[in-house]
A and B are shown apart, each in its own frame.
Chain A
Amino acid sequence: MKKKGCGMKNIVFFFLILVLAIQPAAARVQEEFKPEDMTTFMIQVPHGVEGSGLAVGGSNLSAYLFFESYYDGNMNVTMELDLPEGFVLQDTSVHSFSLQTEYEDWYRLIDFYVPADLPPGTYNITATAVVDVKGNKHTIVRRTRLKVASKEEIAEEIAVSGLIVPSDEDGYGDPSHPSSTVVIRETSPALKRLLKVTDLQIDREEFRSTFIGVEVTNKGESTVPVIITYDVLDIKTGEPVKAFKPAIMGMNADTLCYATLTLAPGSSSRVSLPLYISEDAMRGEYLLRVKVKLTGSDWVAVTRDQKITAISRKWGPIIITLVSALLGLTAISFFFSRSKEIMDRFKTRNLVLISLFGTVSFAAINLPMTILWELSHAVLGPFSFLFTGLFYEILLYMLIASLVVLIPTPGVVSLFMMVRFLLGGFITGSFTPITFITLSLSAVILEVMMYAAGITGKNPDPENRFRMGVVCGIADMVSGYASFSVWMVLYRLFYSDWYIMANILIDGFLYTFIGAWFGISLGNRLKKVAE
């Protein structure tokens, strides 16, 4: 029995020894380093390209090396990039680093240059990592290929297969907007003032007009990293138009207007590029040139041109035209609906006098100006207003002011204008929308301002020269500005701001003021005749 008990003790002791002996051995098996399983080692040439890449001679490229450890322990790594002969490394080829723990990684972009005169062909690039774990060295090798192709070859492989202007944010066509057309947005002066007052900068969104959708196709067998940019050019000179690449938040628009793509062999990809347009851009026709460059090279591999039309809606003149037309129509409707009451306020004698003044204005202004207006425009060009203003402002306002002195009743100016309009229509055929809008607007403003200034009304005082001059001057400035808006909107004519300003100040105010001033004298003389 004693012998049997002693045997059991021996067996337990043996197993205990065995367990103690086996445990460290098992631990040693767990910590054994397997380079391929316990690391990730990657090379991309050029950066971003998995598989074989494509480059053109003269490119500055970066090889991307990435190493990550899944080993719970220290390791020292020596990385070496081996470039083919002829490639010019612009960095050191050997890098040493140590990774201390699991999931720690290391990466580096190693710049190199592909000489322009390097013969086309496929080159092998090798990266070797020597991993030292507890004195044991393991070597991991990664290879990739870089195809150096001639420019002609690349130009045949890459194509801009689609170009959509305007597009949505994903680069697809937007049927709700006309194709090849971009809209120049006008920021309202009120908004600009608000932004200035509140010290807010105009947001980048304020500039962006639309997107350009670009589809690029790679017909070759290599993965191609490309950069897509665009220029908006003057269609005649081919010069880039700055208004389409405005500085945004102090940055050059080029820093925002590009997209990068990595095109797998035989694939197509679509990108969208923002098109920023500053509001001082002019409408017209432009050439949109989309450029595709290979990453690392300034050489433009492919371009595609498309004619685009920039249209603008100048809401200021449009609104002024609409308001003026509505005001004119409302005034006419009001007159037609209450014509009897309005006309009954005037004596027959007054109606006759107004019509005779209309005749004189037509004989002294409209009739000679039918030819002189066009003739002075033809000879003096934009400065003809200095001459035509003598008739249309000085003479006209002399007549208006003198008529108001004789009949200081609200409505007298409107009736005078109406007679002029109808007479002009019957005699010279000038039944034009412009004439209607400007004359009706002018009549409404003059009536309202004269009444408000006490020139006409219950206790009229029409003989104050200064007041009459200022009232007529302001009214003519307003109607003159509206008239330019109407010309621009309805007749699609262009006028420079300085010209409009000069016209309004000289013709609209100065000449009118002079005319109204002398009109009071004329009116007073006529009053004596009437008495």
Chain B
Amino acid sequence: MIGARSIAEPTIKDTIIHRMDPRAKILVLISTAFVAVTLDNPETMFLLFLIVLSGFALARMPAIKLKTLTLLLVLLIWGTIYSQALFYSQLPRTVIFTIIQPDFPVLGWMTNGGLFVYEEGLQHGAIQGLRSASILSLGLLMCWTTDSRDMLNGLVGLRVPYSVAFMVVTAVRFLPIIITEVVTVVTVQRLRGFNPKRFGSGIIKTALNILTPTLSNCVRRTGTLAVSIQSRAFRANPDRTYLKKLKFSELDKAMVTVCIFAAISIVIIKLLYNMYTSGIYYTSGLRPVYAIARGYL
């Protein structure tokens, strides 16, 4: 059974991926996100996805994580396929199944001519799903190979204000406690005869019954925590020191340089190509660039 623990907790090992500086990981992730949303060529998108997946092999991820990843990817890609099969609005499109007939009372009118499953939409969804899949996979790889404290150090290293980083640290630290509290409250509710899965008004009732005790504990805890933090000179000085100093290795530098350079290049090339196809800007000197964008990106 895949639980919250397998999603949330990192697996600490000594691999090339684990050793990467968290700042480098964040920068690589941001660069990859830019590349993923820029690409249109299915082969290149698939290649990017494979490159991201190869990171899991390099990080020697345990089976439970790989199962979780597979499940999430399957659901993500299938969700995209499903929605695009219904909303695909390009031609040609072939109806393979009718969900709502155009002349169906009310719904036919509401859906502006019925709801169909289009064959080409399935394919489009599968291709576009790769985009989200690459970003999700890389995000999970980053989370599963980095301790949350290192990640927050990385954020502070990237000039995120310390107070914000502190809030996130607090949130991360209290996450297991609050998950346990939520589970306890749900169990107690069940014992008292509530059905938390009941649809409709039951959901709101259940939500109120879960959130009220959980948040009440949070509010109570806040006072104690705030006093404890302030007594340790929180925000007493504008600058603070850190026990662990982050340092970019040569490999980190190379990775970050390559990823940022690739992302900037790809974004600029696609931008120029889109300006060309939209009739906004064209110059004959950029024809090789247009050819690269059309053929490979």
Contacts and interface: CB of A to CB of B under 8 A. Distances in A.
Interface stretch (A76-84, A90-98, A235-243): A235-243
A491 B230 contact: no
Interface residues of A, number: 93
Interface stretch (B162-170, B242-250, B258-266): B162-170
B168 A491 contact: no
Contact of A415 (B90, B167, B219, B223): B167
B64 to A, nearest CB: 14
A368 B3 CA distance: 9
A429 B142 contact: yes
A349 B138 CA distance: 35
B277 A311 contact: yes
26 contacts: A177-B276, A340-B161, A352-B225, A353-B219, A355-B167, A357-B218, A359-B171, A359-B175, A360-B178, A360-B182, A364-B207, A367-B179, A368-B4, A373-B79, A377-B79, A378-B75, A381-B82, A382-B115, A418-B164, A429-B29, A433-B33, A491-B131, A494-B88, A496-B86, A499-B87, A525-B212
A429 B83 contact: no
Given A183-B279, A530-B219, A498 B112 contact: yes
Given A371-B75, A406-B219, A426-B168, A495 B87 contact: yes
B140 A285 contact: no
Contact of A514 (B26, B172, B204, B222): B204
B92 interface: yes
B178 A351 contact: no
Contact of A526 (B124, B207, B216): B216
A354 interface: yes
B59 interface: no
A522 interface: yes
Nearest to B225: A352
A356 B2 CA distance: 25
B29 A493 contact: no
Nearest to B173: A359
Given A430-B139, A431-B139, A492-B128, A402 B72 contact: no
Given A422-B164, A425-B143, A493-B84, 10 more contacts: A236-B92, A343-B163, A362-B171, A374-B76, A377-B79, A426-B148, A426-B152, A430-B136, A493-B83, A522-B211
A234 to B, nearest CB: 5
B250 to A, nearest CB: 25
B211 A354 contact: no
Nearest to A432: B135
A496 B87 contact: yes
B66 interface: no
Interface in B174-224: 174-175, 178-179, 182, 199, 203-204, 207-208, 210-212, 214-216, 218-223
B216 to A, nearest CB: 5
Interface string A169-203: 00000011110010100000000000000000000
| Residue of A356, A377, A395 with most partner-chain B CB within 10 A | A356
Given A340-B161, A355-B168, A313 B204 contact: no
Interface string A58-77: 00000000000000000000
B78 interface: yes
B9 to A, nearest CB: 9
Interface of B: 2, 4, 7-8, 26, 29-30, 33-34, 37, 40, 71-72, 75-76, 78-80, 82-84, 86-94, 110-112, 115, 121, 124, 128, 131-132, 135-143, 148, 151-152, 155, 159, 161, 163-164, 166-168, 170-172, 174-175, 178-179, 182, 199, 203-204, 207-208, 210-212, 214-216, 218-223, 225-226, 229-230, 234-235, 238, 276-279, 282, 284, 290, 294
A406 B216 CA distance: 12
B295 to A, nearest CB: 12
Contact of A431 (B29, B121, B207): B29
A336 B148 CA distance: 22
Contacts of A207: none
A307 B121 CA distance: 20
A348 B230 contact: yes
Interface string A398-425: 1100100010000000010011001101
Contact of B210 (A352, A357, A364, A390): A364
Contacts of B78: 374, 377-378
Contact of B175 (A363, A418, A502): A363
A418 B214 CA distance: 21
Contacts of A390: 203
B76 A178 contact: no
A356 B223 CA distance: 12
Contacts of A355: 166-168, 170-171, 174
Contacts of A356: 170-171, 174, 178, 218, 221-222
A286 interface: yes
Given A284-B92, A351-B166, A493-B83, A429 B226 contact: no
A351 B207 contact: no
Contacts of B230: 348
Contact of B151 (A426, A492, A522): A426
A279 to B, nearest CB: 13
Contacts of B211: 360, 364, 395, 398-399, 402, 522
B172 A529 contact: no
B167 A394 contact: no
A427 B93 CA distance: 39
A509 interface: no
| Residue of A241, A310, A349 with most partner-chain B CB within 10 A | A349
A285 B204 contact: no
Contacts of B121: 494
A377 B79 CA distance: 5
B234 A348 contact: yes
Nearest to B92: A236
A10 interface: no
Contact of A428 (B84, B139, B208): B139
A370 interface: yes
B40 A429 contact: no
Interface in A254-293: 282-286
A398 B207 contact: yes
A313 B214 CA distance: 48
A5 to B, nearest CB: 99
| Residue of A362, A363, A373, A495 with most partner-chain B CB within 10 A | A363
A165 B65 CA distance: 51
Nearest to A379: B82
B91 A419 contact: no
